[in-house]
Structure 1
Amino acid sequence: MKDDHDEALLAEIATLLDSSEHAGHPLHDALQRLYRHHCEQRGQMHRLIDISDRYQLLAMEARQVTQQRYERTLRRQRKLSRISDGYQALMHERNKALRQASTHDPLTELPNRRLICERLETLVAEHRAFTLALLDIDHFKRINDHHGHDVGDRVLVALTQALSASLREYDLCARWGGEEFLLLLVDTDRNEASTIVERLRSRLSKVTVRTGQQTISVTVSAGLSQHRPGDPHHLTVKRADQALLKAKRAGRDRILSDSL
């Protein structure tokens, strides 16, 4: 309403200024100059408003473009973050698998020679007491020759499961090589170890594997060696191996200990 009133007033003033009736009026020239000045000021104001409106529009468009770019960048970063997280998880799993492959036997999933040797080195460095038992399956070659290596592998896995189920939580059983297993009995002297391994030997003799119409069972021989303070672990393993050899020569299916 105010704009309409202003427009009407300006139109009235313009009409008066154009009229020859008021041409000689003493205020005519002054009013005419004021009117022109007002029109010029009004035109400048409209131009400034127009420039401001266009600037505001450009600024809004720029903000929208910036916001869109930011959102695209954010989505890209989130995608890269998910890819990075997935890659890190994959690398973790692969490193875990590599560690498992380097420290465990792939057939039986028991610790391998490398891992148990690391454990033995730690126990020696900590001056911990332990006894080793080296177990060997009697006449295992006959099983591979008569029934095939697949059956032989099944026998190894079955014996592994029986061993793992029979040992104490803090003991360690490793596949030493071929048909040999090394038992690490921590904080255990030779007499206690002999009782434990004898119980294991009896249980292992009851393990059976079915192939065709035949049922296969095996016996094991074992050699024990109690660690001597100050000795490297490989000497303890060597004495257990020597005791195992004596058990084999004595007729197998038995346990013998080294001499302290």
Structure 2
Amino acid sequence: MRADKQIEQIEQTVESLLSDPSHRDNPLRPALDELYGEFRGLLHQIDRVTRISDRYQHVSQAEKLSLTERYQKQLRQLEKIARISDRYQSMMRDLNEALKEASTRDALTGIGNRRMLMERMKTESARAERLHRPLTVALLDVDRFKSVNDAHGHEAGDKALVEIAHAIVASVRDYDLCGRWGGEEFMVIMPEIGADEAAIVVERVRQAVMALDITAGDTRLALSASFGIAERRGGESVSETINRADTALFDAKRDGRNRYKIAP
């Protein structure tokens, strides 16, 4: 600020000397006039450069602000996309779990379906073969189930199947797997035990089925089931084990139903 006042005082002094008529003939006047002109021109250029610099700084600051705002906007958009992506992935995981559950669960009873039973049989059979451990499978068929549907309708039949499924689950061991094999047939996969021990579990299931208190209208349904039991043989395939259990089930049906047979 002090320098500006000094410059202003010098300008006023020079302008006063140049405008004074008494100095018109002074030999230094033309040189002073020329020097002062150069000085004014230089000040004009400095002022112009200053204004340009100010405008540039203003534009630069505006651009920086604009870039920051655009960055913040894009950042917000990316965060929104990330949240949407997270929700989408969560939905896809839930959907995949639901599809997997639907593909391995029986829609009526809620227990495993044929697909799950076959996958588990393959896994347990391979494990039993590798570790030389016992594995037993039992097939259950509800006796005279067609008569239930014919006499009381499919709604009563479906109710009976649901209750039978619950009875099986409640009667087997915690690490056994039971599922609906198809129609009124069920399967129980029993790792780590042979046929004789499995027969104890099967008998418990048979008693539980007989004890079910299911009514259709005013009629109590007298239900029973027949069982075929097969202990896996070394080197035997899954299909061979199941076929032996199915043959034993047929023998139980033929011998009067409501009983189990162990495959030789």
TM-score over 0.5 for the pair: yes
In structure 1, stretches of 5+ residues that fail to align are none
Question: What does 1:218-257 correspond to in 2, within 5 Å?
Answer: 218-257=223-262
SS in 1 for 2:31: helix
Identify which of 207, 215, 228 aligns with 1:202. 207
1:55 Cα deviation from its structure 2 partner: 0.6
Cα distance change, pair 156–30 in 1 and its aligned pair in 2 (3 A): same
| 1:140 corresponds to | 145
* 1:188 match: secondary structure: coil
Over residues 34-63 of structure 1, what are the superposed CA-to-partner deviations in whole Å (9 max), with x where a residue is unaligned?
322221121111111111111111111211
- Equivalent runs, 1:168-187 vs 2, <5 Å: 168-187=173-192
Q: Relative to structure 2, which stretch is displaced further, 198-207 or 31-40? A: 31-40
1:150 aligns with: 155
Q: What is the distance in 1 between the residues matched to 2:217 and 2:42?
A: 111
- Partners of 1:154 and 1:65 in 2: CA distance: 69
Deviation, structure 1 residue 147: 1.7
CA distance in 1 between counterparts of 2:175 and 2:27 reads: 120
Paired amino acid for 1:184: I
TM-superposed deviation, 1:209: 2.5
Aligned residues: 259
Aligned to 2:98: 97
TM-score, normalized by length of structure 2? 0.91
Instruction: Give TM-score, length-normalised by structure 1.
Output: 0.92
1:23, 1:163 → 2: CA distance?
A: 129
Superposition CA RMSD, Å? 1.8
- Alpha-carbon distance in structure 2 between the residues aligned to 1:19 and 1:213: 135
The 1-side partners of 2:244 and 2:86 are apart by: 50
**1:83-122 matched pairs, under 5 angstroms:** 83-122=84-123
CA contact (8 A) 1:123 1:129 kept: no
| Structure 1 residue 178 displacement after superposition | 0.4
Percent identical among aligned pairs is: 40
Determine the C-alpha separation between the residues in 1 that align with 2:214 and 2:5. Answer: 107
Higher deviation after alignment, 243-252 or 94-103:
94-103
Structure 2: tracts of 5 or more residues without a match: none
The amino acid that maps onto 1:134 is L
Q: Distance in 1 between matches of 2:250 and 2:221?
A: 24
Instruction: Provide the rounded CA distance (Å) in 2 between the counterparts of 1:56 and 1:214.
Output: 95
Residue aligned with 2:247, SS: helix
The question of whether the paired residues in 2 share the 8 Å contact of 1:175 and 1:182 is answered with: yes
